[in-house]
Amino acid sequence: MQYTLDFAKDLDKQDLLSTYRNEFYIKEGIIYLDGNSLGLLSKRAEDSVKNMLESWKEHAIEGWMNGENPWFFLSENLGSKMAGLVGAKENEVIVTGSTTINLHQLIASFYNPSTGRTKIIADELTFPSDIYAMKSQIKLKGLSPEEHLVQVKSNDGYLLNEDDLIAAMDENTSLVILSSVLYRSGQLLDMKKLVEAAHERGILIGFDLAHSIGVIPHDFANIQPDFAFWCNYKYVNSGPGSVGGLYVNEKHFGVEPGISGWFSSKKDKQFDMEHELNYEHHAGAFQVGTPHILSIAPIIGSLQIFEEAGIDKIRRKSLQLTNFLMMLIDSELTNLDFTIINPRVDEKRGGHVCLHHSEAASICKALKAHGIIPDYREPSLIRLAPVSFYTSYEEVWRAVQVLKEIMVQGDYKKFKNTRNVIA
């Protein structure tokens, strides 16, 4: 099959989500393939921020209980809306904190080495911030991370074997904390298999959904993990530093939050101002301080788009986009030393394509100079994330043609093969 420009345009004509492209601010002359790091601004998210500022201007302190989206209940209300993205019950999800802060909270709440189970299992490919949090929490328990944090090895430095992860789960394991999708390679782990193995051994297990929330449907009602946490600024398109989210399985409702604050309280008791915390018995218990209202605001508009489009349709297009991208790479970039690192099987792949090339850093700089926005990750990896809402098949086709051009003509050699401060 010839993957021509006309073929790409025909795919765009058949695209059921193409109308949502007009919902986003797309810079003319730029092909944005970095939505797995930071999603683009939608007009509805922008309106949500404007409406929230107007609410502050109009209501002042009364905005906590009045207005279109009363601030006091906003984290819970958005959590109930976001629950559909993970296939959970409404009261199992709360919009709060950040990825790392939420992980600290969950470890503090569920890691109890006094039971004799002292180990936390992770892997050597996990995003560093998650490892920092795990080590920190182990130290706070007076233990050594070198002894009590187990990082399962990868056979090739890019992918994980679920059986290796399961083999590490023993009678000394307290928690297993893994990514649903590996941030470098885009591998989607078999969460159901891992959860069942952990629970058979009496181990709690949770997942970092940073690279799957908003691009992959989750069925937590079926998978039954103990907890999960995520950011919303990637595929959920809620803006830089936007508030994250967490999930706690209802079987753990009533667990005292390890890190407490006044927003951990039951709503009807919070302003009693007592010094004994009457913490909530749902996911809201794992909030800490006052919610960041202006940073939550974009999520209101963003979730409206998800509710309309449906996560299943989003996933279907994402798989089609990444498959098309890989087919073009296979067809156009032969003998140019690129290797596709991510799994090719749909059920094993997240929302981005990962390429290895020894000159990856300089190639990314050259792509940016030609109006293509990729993402570089050590070591020598180029991540390309076409996003269902705003990336067209024509853009994917054009991006690969530009990549081929800068390689054949040697344009990438004009740039140093070292990452910038922010890759």
Binding site annotation covers 375?
Answer: no
Assigned token pair, 189: 């782990």
Residue 100, annotated as binding a ligand: yes
Q: Which of 137, 381, 105 is nearest to 227 (CA)?
A: 105
Q: According to the annotation, is 388 in a ligand binding site?
A: no
DSSP class of 342: S
What Rg do the C-alpha atoms of the chain give, in angstroms?
22
Q: What's the chain's length in residues? A: 423
Task: Determine if residue 262 is labeled as part of a ligand binding site.
Answer: yes
Consult the annotation and say whether 158 binds a ligand. no
Report how far residue 289's alpha carbon sits from residue 287's, in angstroms, rounded to the nearest whole number: 7
- Residue whose tokens read 């090895």: 153
Q: Is 211 annotated as a binding residue?
A: yes
Distances, alpha carbon 84 to alpha carbons 23, 78, 152, 180, 297, in Å: 21, 11, 31, 17, 19
d(CA 247, CA 249): 7
Would you say 72 is a known binding-site residue? Answer: no
Contacts with 271 (C-beta within 8 Å, 6 or more apart), sequence order:
none
Identify the sign of the CA torsion 25, 28, 16, 211.
Answer: negative
331, 335, 337, 342 alpha-carbon torsion, rounded to 10°: 30
The answer on whether 290 is annotated among ligand-binding residues is: yes
70 is in an annotated binding site: no
List residues forming the annotated binding site for pyridoxal 5'-phosphate.
99-100, 127-130, 208, 211, 233, 262, 290
List residues forming the annotated binding site.
99-100, 127-130, 208, 211, 233, 262, 290
